[in-house]
Amino acid sequence: MEPAAPVPREPVFVARGLVKTYRMGEIEVHALRGIDLDIYRGEFVVLLGPSGSGKSTLLNILGGLDRPTSGTARWREHDLAVADDAALTRYRREHVGFVFQFYNLIPSLTARENVALVTEMAGDAMPPAEALERVGLGDRLDHFPSQLSGGEQQRIAIARAIAKRPDVLLCDEPTGALDYETGKLVLEAIARINRDLGTTAVVITHNASIARIADRVMRLADGRIASVETNASRLTPSEIAW
């Protein structure tokens, strides 16, 4: 395991001139209007911006859920802009861990099974119990989602995302549905994974306070990157408040 700092300057995500327009009913939405970015290996990046600024669209393209209308998006040697559905599925399966605002757990599976669902199809996965241990849920292995709190459910989602040892962890508003204390627990889990496993993490939030725990903060506005800040020193989630 590598230490988190100094940040290695090996770009894993490279995007140039990313444009995404889509139709919502009869309205044409310009979600991304030309994005250039590089994200480096092991980096913790926070995407900040108001709703409608294009954060989720960008994350979806980086995660292989969506394709840009024009421009290039690469993850290492993978061209995400032109890959077909099967290639994108394989990319998500092998390299990406997702965490969503609403956890997206399978209600009919226990915590352990939700994780096992993913580890079953990965090559070099950690045992589900270990992944759950990492997010502090070692004692909740056989609980169903309906028996767990929101924060616990979100931590299962994180365990599920990291159990297959993904190269990148993409989190879309992971604390959006959680209260303050629980949100902190979740952020700590993400930060620890990033630090301990060296997993590149990209986290979307509209909460500026959270930005302090990242290596870099990209602010999006109106489909463009408005600014990029590098935090000289990262805070741990326990040190921040909002």
**C-alpha R_g of the chain:** 17
Tokens representing 204? 């979307």
Instruction: Tell me which residues in 157-186 interact with another protein (CB under 8 A).
Output: 160, 172
Separation CA 24–CA 148 (nearest Å) = 36
Q: Is 40 in the site for another protein (CB under 8 A)?
A: no
Report cis status (omega within 30 of 0) of the bond before 6. Answer: yes
| Closest to another protein by CB, 118 or 158 | 118
Which residue of 9, 84, 146, 232 would you call a contact of another protein, by CB under 8 A?
146
All residues at 6 or more sequence positions from 19 whose CB lies less than 8 Å from its CB, including other chains: 30, 32, 33, 34, 35, 68, 69, 70, 71
Residue 58: φ, ψ to 5°? -65, -45
Size of the site for another protein (CB under 8 A): 33
Which tokens is 225 given?
């990157």
Interaction mask 49-88, another protein, x per CB under 8 A: -------x---x--x-xx------------------xx--
Q: Tell me if 116 contacts another protein by CB under 8 A.
A: yes
Q: Are 145 and 153 in contact (CB under 8 A)?
A: yes
Minimum gap (Å) between residue 9 Cβ and another protein: 29
Q: Quick one: how far is CA 217 from the chain centroid?
A: 14
Stretch that binds another protein, among 11-19, 93-101, 199-207, 214-222 (CB under 8 A): 93-101
Q: Rounded to the nearest whole angstrom, what is the least distance from the CB of residue 77 to another protein in the complex?
A: 18
Instruction: Kindly list the residues in this chain that would bind another protein in the complex (CB under 8 A).
Output: 56, 60, 63, 65-66, 85-86, 89-90, 92-94, 96, 98, 100, 102, 104, 106-109, 113-114, 116-118, 120-121, 144-146, 160, 172
